[in-house]
Structure 1
Amino acid sequence: MADKRQSIRAAFLKATFSFLGYIASCDGQINREEVNRIKVHMKKMHLSEDEQRNALLLFKSGTAPDFNASQALVEFRAATTPKLIQILLVHLLTMARADGFLMEKELHALLWVARELGYKSIVFNHLLKMIYEQDQLALSRNPPQPAQPDTYSAPQPEPNKEQKKANTNAHQPTGNRHQDLHKAYKILGVTTEMTEDEIRRAYKKLASQLHPDKLMSQGLAQEQMHIATERFKRVQAAYSFIKKHRSIYSAR
């Protein structure tokens, strides 16, 4: 069992980094910024130094003109599980969008990879849209903070519950809340006309695909699941946001 888990883990790492290189090279020569993002990605995955060196070699192999992408995908499918195939696509989509946009050639390469892995275009597009909406909702709820000047300011007292709630509402205009709600529904692939039971079932189905415990049972090690875990948290946040809105609406 341990040998099987290790082989699944090795296959996942090989596919992840070789195809990150393959997709990154689709729009031209690899630049230093892209390599730096890969290095940050490796650290988030808690790879050992040896694994990081191997990952860079795999990334480089994926950029080579003679990289046999079709054969690499055949080998990956033979060594992995359906859930980990989706996690690979999540990794590739997340990293391809790490610079804030997705080039047309990158999108075509990702779509080809998804098709080779057995994903229909409509399913891939739904996954892409879900990831985009997750990122947009996370950004609107936690906007990047501007750099603070290097000056001293006296510490402020901790606000109480009422003040925190008031501050949150003050910084979240009604229009923004409606936009966030729209994004949350899209993340779960549901509509406003659905019942709470239907939305809950859709949430459970989606969450089960990204739940860390489920992925560990599939053979992926804990340290390899940071992206899936982040996506799982964002799905949870979207569902909580919808539930909170509906409870407030139904109480009126």
Structure 2
Amino acid sequence: MWGKLLGAGFGFLFGKWLGAILGFYLGHLFDKSLKQDFDKAGGFQGFFNGDDLNERQALFFSSCFSVMGHIAKSNGRVSEIHIQAASAFMDEMRLHGDERKEAQSAFNAGKSAEFSIKESVSDFKEAFARRYDLLQLFLEIQIQMAFSDGHLAAKELELLKLVSKHLGIGEKHFRFILKRYQAEFKFRQQRAHWQSQQQSRSSGNERQYQHRTHTPQPPSEVSEAQALAVLGLEQGASDKDIKRAYRKLMAQHHPDKLVSQGLPEHMMEIAKGKSQSIQAAYEVLKKK
């Protein structure tokens, strides 16, 4: 970035607009070379190979954690809940050693006053411009961080809208994604509570038998309205609407497809978790 700006500036001084164009191009080559040198020295490229797919995966990884850090700091200080949420992400991705340190470094970089969320998200958008499902998942992960304490502060909402804007996601669709995630958050909480109760009631032998014979279903108190909201639908949706929404969401969050487009394999568990919530909501609606 700085190479392009400085190159254009010096070029204009010596050759007006033609010099500025040439300087901008030379600066772009410098920035690209500098980035490659940085990648070779370590950074996220230290554990992603150097081909195009893995470069995109490294960018997804670093951008994701740095923007998460910026959102966590939006209220002036990073709360213990946000730190725990970031650690939970790292645990879910099974990050250890140098990989975990890199994630922590990116998270801390996002907390810096010098961090530019516009530049970070715009660079991300440029790299994944034709991979809309990944852009949406990136936004969903940021919403998950902001919502980790159970509510959305005004400054967090403002930043999420900014992220959505720089990703090229319209305001109407942003509201749809936000509303659906809030429903998913409550749905997961309720299912986790029920599963915890089931485990505490079961003896060791009974639990093994149940595991062999069937998968426990969600509790009856999970309402049709809750399950519909997870699929982004409202009361009165037809069976056809439900099936169409279910298939669309499952396609958007299919882990293997997302990884092939640039989602780091470390983050596959996040996509799996979202797919499981969509599947569970659909199973509730099938039984109504």
Describe how 1:1-252 pairs up with structure 2 within 5 A.
3-80=51-128, 81-143=131-193, 145=196, 158=206, 172=220, 176-177=221-222, 180-245=223-288
- One-letter code of the match for 2:152? L
Q: Deviation of residue 24 (structure 1)?
A: 0.8
Shift of 1:238: 0.9
Alpha-carbon distance in structure 2 between the residues aligned to 1:154 and 1:52:
36
C-alpha change, 1:182 and 1:11, in structure 2 (3 Å) is same
Q: Judging changes above 3 Å, is the alpha-carbon distance between structure 1 residues 200 and 53 closer, same or farther for their aligned structure 2 residues?
A: same
Superposed displacement of residue 182, structure 1: 0.4
Q: Secondary structure at the match of 2:58?
A: helix
Quickly say closer, same or farther: Cα 1:243–1:63, change in 2 above 3 A: same
Counterpart of 2:123, as a letter, is E
With structure 1 as the length reference, what TM-score do the two structures score?
0.81
TM-superposed deviation, 1:2: 7.1
**TM-superposition CA deviations, 1:34-90 (whole Å, max 9, x none):** 333322321211224212111111111111111111111121112223221111111
| Pairs aligned (count) | 232
State which structure, 1 or 2, has the greater radius of gyration over its C-alpha atoms. Answer: 2
Distance 2:232 2:120 in 1: 31
Shift of 1:231: 1.1
Per the alignment, residue 26 of structure 2 pairs with: none
**Secondary structure of residue in 2 paired with 1:158:** helix
Q: How many angstroms does 1:33 deviate by?
A: 4.2
Query: Are the counterparts in 1 of residues 187 and 230 from structure 2 also a CA contact under 8 Å?
Result: no
Q: Distance in 1 between matches of 2:265 and 2:204?
A: 39
Q: Which moved more, 1:30-39 or 1:40-49?
A: 30-39
Tell me the residue number matched to 1:248: none
Could you say what secondary structure the match of 2:263 adopts? coil
Contact residue 18 and residue 61 of structure 1 kept, 8 A: yes
Matching residue's letter, 1:24: A
CA drift at 1:102? 1.6
Q: Distance in 1 between matches of 2:121 and 2:79?
A: 25
Identity of counterpart residues, as a percentage? 30
In structure 1, how many angstroms separate the alpha carbons of the residues matched to 2:177 and 2:202? Answer: 46
TM-score w.r.t. structure 2 length?
Answer: 0.71
Change (3 A) 1:186 1:31: closer
Pairwise CA RMSD: 3.1
Is contact 1:90–1:228 with CA below 8 Å preserved after alignment?
no
Contact map agreement 2:164 2:170 (CA 8 A) in 1: yes
Q: Distance in 2 between matches of 1:78 and 1:107?
A: 23
Consecutive unaligned residues in structure 2, runs of 5 or more: 1-48, 211-216
Q: Per the alignment, in what secondary structure is the counterpart of residue 143 of structure 1?
A: helix
What is the rounded CA distance, in whole Å, between the counterparts of 1:48 and 1:156 in structure 2? 32
Asked if the contact 1:46/1:224 (under 8 Å) is kept, the reply is: no
Residue equivalent to 1:249: none
* CA pair 53-185 structure 1, distance change in 2 beyond 3 A: same
